[in-house]
Structure 1
Amino acid sequence: MTAMTPMRGGTARNFERETDGPIVGRFAALLGTPLLPWQQYVADVAGEIDPDTGTYFYNTVILTTQRQCGKSTLIDTEDTRNALWGPNRFIYYLAQTGKDASKHFKKYLKQIQASPLVAATTRPYLGAGDISQPFINGSVIMPESVTKVAGHGVQGDKITLDEAFSLSEETGKTILDGFLPTMATRLKATGVQPQVWITSTEGTSDSTFFNKRLDSCREGDVKRRTCWFDWGLPADENPEDLDAIMRYHPAAGLLWGKSQLKDFRDLFDGDAAGWARAFGNRRDEGTIDRAIDERLWADTASTPVTPGKIGSRPVTLGVAVDVDATHTSISAGIKNGDGTITTQLLKVLDGTGYAPDEIKRLAETYHAPVTIDTKGTASDLSDRLRHITDEYGYPVLRFCELSAADYLTIGQSYVSGLENHGVTHAADPELDASAANSARTWSGDAWRVTRRRSTGLTSPLESCMLAAWGVNHQPANVVPVIV
């Protein structure tokens, strides 16, 4: 028998417990896809039986592997076995989009319909929005997109979040929050412990849901009822070394050989990070594409402006909010006598709760309008600011109105101002750190600061960008007539 490729980390088999794994192996053979050693190991561990309950010991399975190693085959086999464990069971396969889920599921339908297990099925449903494979015992396997399930309680006995790298923490948690409360009721109703399978190749720094759970496992923070499995290239191996890939890929030499591996590599021409992620299962942290070049930032620093020396110079406030509303930054854009603009970070506040009072105070002190994005992370704060009124019901704050199209220009406009010596930034450690850690993402020919791929607070830098833009887009200073 072929030896199993060593894992990078994971749960060891507890031989004191019986396991459902051999039954899963027989189902795989009936489906025409006998399990590889790594697949059988996962089935054996995930299928361990709690001697006190007679059902699954683990309620959560976390699995990360390289591409082209048979992950989908294992999922389909586990789903089929679960559906036939007993009557009226509900199994969900969730993918990033409905199209992805349907594509996977149609391959499974062909497989089961060509196998002896077709005798246990009834006619599949293939209508728009209603794709499923019912079984004669009343059980059903259903593919869904994560967006359709998110936010709705799912009465299920097995749910697989496949390609979990595509999920944000918020989306993934919403799905689990909807499913987990039903696990106790399904256990009581069926006598079988429901399971959540979270499976994926490693993703990027944007993969906040999967990264959080995988990192916790690697750090040893594994819940008692969770098992996990991690295959991939060790950190000290070179992903361009095809022999190393062959040693650490659990399907190498079984589903394909080294000659095909060279062809796989050619498909990733020019994308070394994509290759390392797909066949080495290496997380693509990405090279931080700094929003502002380090040298340009250093060359455009200026002395901070003290409040007493602003005088009559026009001032605009820029306000930005970090992802998950953890911090609010307020900066000033000060127009100098020679037409240049100095941007200066004024405040970095925790959360957004105290921000309206501080923004109101600063706006009144410097007679400054406010520039803030009305969408995204700042939308709630923007709405609250616009509802601040005086005793007569008139708005207290003035705003430099910023459209979505305008928002896409503020970063490039700010950098252009730095390059042309029309904009400077007052030296500040928090602002320097934000500039160093803020990455950019492109939308066509325009770019903006990306909060998800940045490694620190982005709001200090964004607030300066907004303040500089606002200096050249100040509203008319209209005073309401009080009747």
Structure 2
Amino acid sequence: MTVPMRGGTARNLERRTDGAIVARFAELLGTPLLPWQRLVADVAGEIDPDTGTYFYDTVILSTPRQCGKSTLVDAWDTRNTQWGPNRYVYYLAQTGKDAGDHFKKFLKTLQASPLAPITGRPYMGRGSEAQPFRNGSIIMPKSVTKVSGHGVQGDKVTLDEAFSLSEETGNMILDGFVPTMATRLQATGVQPQLWITSTEGTADSTFFNRKLDECRAGDQSRRTCWFDFGLPPDADPENLDMIMRYHPAAGLLWRRDQLPDFREQWRNNPSGWARAFGNQRDEGVTDRVIDADLWATTTVPPISPSELGARPVVFGVAVDVDATHTSISAGIVNDDGIVTTQLLKIMDGTGHAPAEIKRLCDTYAAPLVIDTRGTSADLADRLRHMGDEETVRFCDLTATDYLTVGQSYVSGLSNGTVLHAADTDLDASAANSARTWAGDAWRVTRRGSTGLTSPLESCMLAAWGAAHMPEEDGPLQIF
């Protein structure tokens, strides 16, 4: 049977694999591997001929729901405990309840299987559940909050439902596990493995989105294998025949005549259906900040530095969620009083941003607008304490002021007092930025949007700053 896969790592037939042994454990657990599961087991189980242990240290798996991901993980975990004595296998889920529910189902299957004799008595204390094996190995469920930042010794770690994690939380978990996993290879002679598994998520899924996008771009480590199952990006999730064609468990775990009833469960949530059975990322923006027609009709050509003349300039700076990018925009006050906002730079992270912001402010004798709270707080603090403060003048932006920035910008576009210079990155930010309401006021929601919000936010701040420039410090006068 051909396994429909959107993308992933191909089997290297020059390496032998542990896949057949995993498949045997699955049979003993009463859940023989489906073709897609066997493909994953064969590739992820490839053996490095130089070391005699796993070639891959990281496995990234993206699947629709109702495909048997959990049974594959259980078979792999059980097999992993038998690589040697005193091995530590962890299953991590979003909450302790999720992890515990999965663990209880696994225990029921394991204890009823021919593998029961190699197990010990399970521990069922709340928060300390564990299944020991007679060779000293152990399988433990944990919530992600229980291991974040802790150096837990692990030989095989599964980070399940990774779509629920922000990049900050996901990286914190990896920071706790990965260094100690590296020492286990030396201690046991078996390469530890980290499995990151999930259905596609939403714009909030910054951790898993980035991992999956890196794999799709070919930017993963050579020791990372990945598997991506689901509908092609341009396929219609409402076409149930397409679901049958691309879902890896279609016709094996459920039938075509069940699909209409499955779809009915998501009757008021079409994007949820597309995620669940098509494994398509939810990138929809339902409450766009700026109307597309208004945005299109307020575009002007960019202004070059040589064209500035004596026109006043103010810079607006914004930082994206998880500090992934910093955007810098200029607010230019034209002779007729109309403000042109222009995106200047999108920088990776925030590390080099202070030097560039200081350079711009110094070069153009321009003040700066930045939110001193939220995602920009750390950058704002570094700017205030970088020395020679006279080169950076700040517009005083209060929390109340910040809630008016977006509305003021849209109002300015509507009444013709604000324009924006043409820029494809800014266009994308405007198209993908959503808003969240606080009473009668709103602001751009970084986690509810589907792309970079900082380009648009920086323009909004620059426009506000153009109307609230601090006065120049004049010479000291004594009366």
Unmatched runs of 5 consecutive residues or more in structure 1: none
- TM-superposed CA distance for 1:41, in Å, is 3.2
Q: Secondary structure at the match of 1:354?
A: helix
Determine the structure 2 residue equivalent to 1:308.
310
Q: Which whole-Å CA distance do the structure 1 matches of 2:81 and 2:44 have between them? A: 16
Q: Indicate yes or no: 2:339 matched with 1:342.
A: yes
Q: Which whole-Å CA distance do the structure 2 matches of 1:114 and 1:450 have between them? A: 48
- TM-superposed CA distance for 1:73, in Å, is 1.0
Determine the structure 1 residue equivalent to 2:251.
253
C-alpha deviations, 1:213-251, integer Å up to 9, x for none? 444544556655443333223456432222222232222
Of the candidates 200, 203, 209, which is equivalent to residue 202 of structure 1? 200
Q: Which whole-Å CA distance do the structure 2 matches of 1:417 and 1:115 have between them? A: 69
C-alpha deviations, 1:121-150, integer Å up to 9, x for none? 334334444333223322221222334434
Q: Secondary structure at the match of 1:106?
A: helix
- TM-superposed CA distance for 1:264, in Å, is 1.0
- TM-superposed CA distance for 1:82, in Å, is 1.2
Stretch moving more, 441-450 or 473-482: 473-482
Of the candidates 168, 187, 197, which is equivalent to residue 185 of structure 2? 187
C-alpha deviations, 1:5-31, integer Å up to 9, x for none? 433344444555544333323332333
Determine the structure 1 residue equivalent to 2:354.
353
Q: Indicate yes or no: 2:416 matched with 1:418.
A: no
Q: Which whole-Å CA distance do the structure 2 matches of 1:29 and 1:325 have between them? A: 44
Of the candidates 416, 422, 446, which is equivalent to residue 429 of structure 1? 422
Q: Which whole-Å CA distance do the structure 2 matches of 1:24 and 1:223 have between them? A: 24
Q: Indicate yes or no: 2:93 matched with 1:95.
A: yes
Determine the structure 2 residue equivalent to 1:329.
328
**How many residues are matched?**
465
- TM-superposed CA distance for 1:469, in Å, is 4.0
Of the candidates 154, 157, 160, which is equivalent to residue 159 of structure 1? 157
Q: Which whole-Å CA distance do the structure 1 matches of 2:254 and 2:354 have between them? A: 57
Q: Which whole-Å CA distance do the structure 2 matches of 1:228 and 1:389 have between them? A: 46
Contact 2:57 2:223 in 1 (8 A): yes
Determine the structure 2 residue equivalent to 1:461.
456
Q: Which whole-Å CA distance do the structure 1 matches of 2:422 and 2:409 have between them? A: 19
Q: Which whole-Å CA distance do the structure 2 matches of 1:309 and 1:394 have between them? A: 21
Q: Which whole-Å CA distance do the structure 2 matches of 1:26 and 1:108 have between them? A: 17
- TM-superposed CA distance for 1:69, in Å, is 0.7
Contact 1:414 1:423 in 2 (8 A): no
Determine the structure 1 residue equivalent to 2:132.
134
C-alpha deviations, 1:409-468, integer Å up to 9, x for none? 42233223433x17412x5234x7414433323434534153884545x44432332244
Query: Are the structure 2 counterparts of residues 360 and 476 from structure 1 closer, same or farther at C-alpha, using a change threshold of 3 Å?
Result: closer
Query: Are the structure 2 counterparts of residues 320 and 214 from structure 1 closer, same or farther at C-alpha, using a change threshold of 3 Å?
Result: closer
- TM-superposed CA distance for 1:200, in Å, is 1.9
Query: Are the structure 2 counterparts of residues 341 and 320 from structure 1 closer, same or farther at C-alpha, using a change threshold of 3 Å?
Result: farther
Contact 1:204 1:285 in 2 (8 A): yes
One-letter code aligned to 1:73: T
Of the candidates 390, 398, 401, which is equivalent to residue 402 of structure 1? 398
Determine the structure 1 residue equivalent to 2:108.
110
Query: Are the structure 2 counterparts of residues 335 and 194 from structure 1 closer, same or farther at C-alpha, using a change threshold of 3 Å?
Result: same
Contact 2:294 2:413 in 1 (8 A): yes
Stretch moving more, 130-139 or 89-98: 130-139
Determine the structure 1 residue equivalent to 2:444.
448
Query: Are the structure 2 counterparts of residues 474 and 109 from structure 1 closer, same or farther at C-alpha, using a change threshold of 3 Å?
Result: farther
Q: Which whole-Å CA distance do the structure 2 matches of 1:99 and 1:193 have between them? A: 30
Q: Which whole-Å CA distance do the structure 1 matches of 2:315 and 2:283 have between them? A: 34
TM-score (normalizing by structure 1): 0.79
Determine the structure 1 residue equivalent to 2:237.
239
Stretch moving more, 277-286 or 320-329: 320-329
Q: Secondary structure at the match of 1:125?
A: coil
Contact 2:299 2:422 in 1 (8 A): no
Q: Which whole-Å CA distance do the structure 1 matches of 2:14 and 2:150 have between them? A: 38
Query: Are the structure 2 counterparts of residues 378 and 229 from structure 1 closer, same or farther at C-alpha, using a change threshold of 3 Å?
Result: closer
Query: Are the structure 2 counterparts of residues 336 and 118 from structure 1 closer, same or farther at C-alpha, using a change threshold of 3 Å?
Result: farther
Q: Secondary structure at the match of 1:61?
A: strand
Query: Are the structure 2 counterparts of residues 130 and 210 from structure 1 closer, same or farther at C-alpha, using a change threshold of 3 Å?
Result: same
- TM-superposed CA distance for 1:96, in Å, is 3.0
- TM-superposed CA distance for 1:349, in Å, is 7.5
Contact 2:149 2:172 in 1 (8 A): yes
Stretch moving more, 251-260 or 199-208: 199-208
One-letter code aligned to 2:444: R
What is the RMSD computed on CA atoms of the aligned residues?
A: 4.0
Contact 2:331 2:465 in 1 (8 A): no
Q: Which whole-Å CA distance do the structure 2 matches of 1:429 and 1:301 have between them? A: 6
Contact 1:86 1:137 in 2 (8 A): yes
- TM-superposed CA distance for 1:372, in Å, is 1.8
Q: Which whole-Å CA distance do the structure 1 matches of 2:378 and 2:340 have between them? A: 25
Q: Which whole-Å CA distance do the structure 2 matches of 1:326 and 1:134 have between them? A: 45
One-letter code aligned to 2:446: T
C-alpha deviations, 1:75-110, integer Å up to 9, x for none? 112112212332211111122333432332233233
Q: Which whole-Å CA distance do the structure 1 matches of 2:449 and 2:202 have between them? A: 9
- TM-superposed CA distance for 1:158, in Å, is 0.5
Misfit runs of 4+, over 6 Å: 302-305, 393-396, 471-483
TM-score (normalizing by structure 2): 0.80
Unmatched runs of 5 consecutive residues or more in structure 2: none
- TM-superposed CA distance for 1:117, in Å, is 3.5
Query: Are the structure 2 counterparts of residues 111 and 444 from structure 1 closer, same or farther at C-alpha, using a change threshold of 3 Å?
Result: farther
Stretch moving more, 289-298 or 255-264: 289-298
Stretch moving more, 38-47 or 194-203: 38-47
Contact 1:167 1:210 in 2 (8 A): yes
